């Protein structure tokens, strides 16, 4: 079953407003809309006319925002041998249907695997490892929010995985610190770490070569049709996404921490933030 798009148009509006530190009153003043019209739009009562007035103030692409509101597009499902998305529930009071992703990249010949993030619990990824008959050799963390590291200790204990890595600016117990621009070879793959801070202060994304297509494991830096929340470093988040991720070859598969897998060419064409 395909993983659903994580953010609706009003989430995109709110993330942009929070990042730019623009309240409803300021948005109303700058757009010429009434305060009630702004509040209604952000609360999910969509008006294309009002959305098009607000989008340029928030630095959003109006056509892409309108398309998101109309559920006009979603990314093609990704079927890539050696890449497996493990999706698990992560319900929150404000979003009971929320879920989180972790990923396995594996050598289809040797069955040696690398995990990227662990999700909230080790059980789902352990089930994937067993079902695919894999041998886990390494774990990489994109950042250390609880929904991405909750299964870490149990996963590495049960699989006896010795090679574990986390961003140097976000140390995590039991891991080795990894600096941006680090390169290594594991399980027949070339792995390159790039800094994609913004959502968190030290987040890394991992660009992997060795499958039929290049893959970028991006954590919460970028979602399909959205980005991770970045209230404190919004412009940095946008800059890193543009320079480190959306500059990759168009065919690169993007594997986000929430929502469906997507690609560079699809996000360049459809993501309202870019």
166-220 confidence digits (pLDDT tens) = 999 999 999 999 999 999 999 999 999 999 999 999 999 999 999 999 999 999 9
pLDDT score recorded for residue 94: 65
Same domain assignment for residues 120 and 39: no
In a domain, 43, yes or no: yes
The residue from 69, 92, 114 where one domain ends is 69
What is the pLDDT at residue 2?
82
Model pTM score: 0.96
Q: Under 8 Å CB-to-CB from 96, ≥6 apart: which residues?
A: none
* CATH for 147: 3.60.15.10
Residue numbers of the domain that contains 42: 9-69
Please tell me the predicted confidence (pLDDT) of residue 88: 93
Q: What does the DSSP assignment read for 93-132?
A: TTBTT-EEEEEEEE-TTT-EEEEE--BS-HHHHHHHHHHT
For the chain, residues with pLDDT lower than 70 are: 93-96
Residue 207 located in a structural domain: yes
Q: How many domains does the chain have?
A: 2
Are residue 40 and residue 138 in the same domain, yes or no? no
Domain membership flag for residue 146: yes
């Amino acid at each position: 079953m395909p993983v659903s798009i994580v953010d609706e148009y009003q989430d995109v509006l709110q993330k942009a407003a929070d990042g730019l530190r623009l309240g409803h009153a300021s948005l109303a003043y700058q757009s010429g809309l009434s305060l009630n019209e702004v509040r209604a739009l952000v609360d999910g009562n969509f008006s294309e006319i009002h959305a098009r007035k607000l989008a340029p103030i928030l630095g959003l692409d109006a056509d892409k925002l309108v398309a998101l509101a109309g559920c006009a597009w979603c990314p093609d499902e990704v079927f890539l041998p050696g890449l497996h998305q493990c999706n698990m529930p992560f319900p929150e009071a404000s979003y009971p249907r929320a879920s989180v992703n972790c990923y396995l990249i594996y050598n289809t010949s040797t069955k040696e695997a690398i995990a990227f993030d662990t999700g909230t619990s080790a059980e789902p990824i352990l089930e994937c490892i067993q079902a695919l008959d894999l041998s886990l050799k390494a774990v990489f963390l994109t950042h250390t929010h609880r929904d991405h590291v909750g299964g870490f200790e149990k996963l590495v204990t049960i699989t006896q995985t010795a090679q574990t890595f986390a961003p140097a600016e976000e140390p995590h117990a039991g891991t080795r610190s990894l600096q941006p621009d680090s390169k290594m070879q594991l399980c027949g793959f070339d792995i390159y770490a790039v800094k994609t801070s913004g959502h968190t202060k030290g987040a890394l994304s991992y660009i992997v070569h060795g499958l039929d297509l290049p893959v970028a494991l991006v954590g919460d830096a970028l979602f399909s049709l959205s980005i991770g929340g970045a209230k404190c470093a919004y412009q940095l988040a946008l800059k890193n996404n543009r320079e480190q991720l959306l500059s990759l070859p168009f065919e690169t598969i993007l594997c986000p921490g929430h929502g469906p897998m997507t690609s560079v060419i699809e996000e360049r064409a459809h993501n309202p933030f870019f």
